[in-house]
Amino acid sequence: MRSANLLNDFAFKYVFGEDCKEANDALKSLLTVFLERKVNHVVVKNSEMVKDYSKMKSPRLDLLVEFDDQTTVDLEMQLRQTKDNLPIRFSYYLARLHGSQELEGKYYGELKETIVLVFFNVNLMLAYK
């Protein structure tokens, strides 16, 4: 039996994003290790960001999950260098996730925690000199 290369987007999404107990357990273990916090329950959410107006970018996140305390985590696998400035792209994702929260009539301090966790197979220091 061959093992999947988890640096591949499709394998990453399949292993951690499938709607089954094994994938959910693997996802909870991955998040527990990298976020250094106990993860009891996660739900994989729709990873497509809806546009607020026609000229916005509409990225599809690799894997979007929500904890039982409503913390949102975007997990991204970046295998290759792109023409994009990757740190800025992932900052944009974070801003969009914050902006998608319903805050009308509330204080900014009520924003739910949002995390973008990126697994890079790219040397960022060389990419942006």
Q: In this predicted model, what pLDDT tens digit does every residue of 48-60 receive, in sequence order? A: 777 777 777 777 8
Assigned token pair, 61: 């996140």
Q: 65 in helix, strand or coil?
A: strand
Q: Express each pLDDT in 69-124 by its tens digit.
A: 999 999 988 877 777 788 888 899 999 999 889 999 999 999 999 999 988 876 66
Greatest Cα-to-Cα distance within the chain, rounded to the nearest angstrom = 55
H or E segment and range at residue 45? strand 42-45
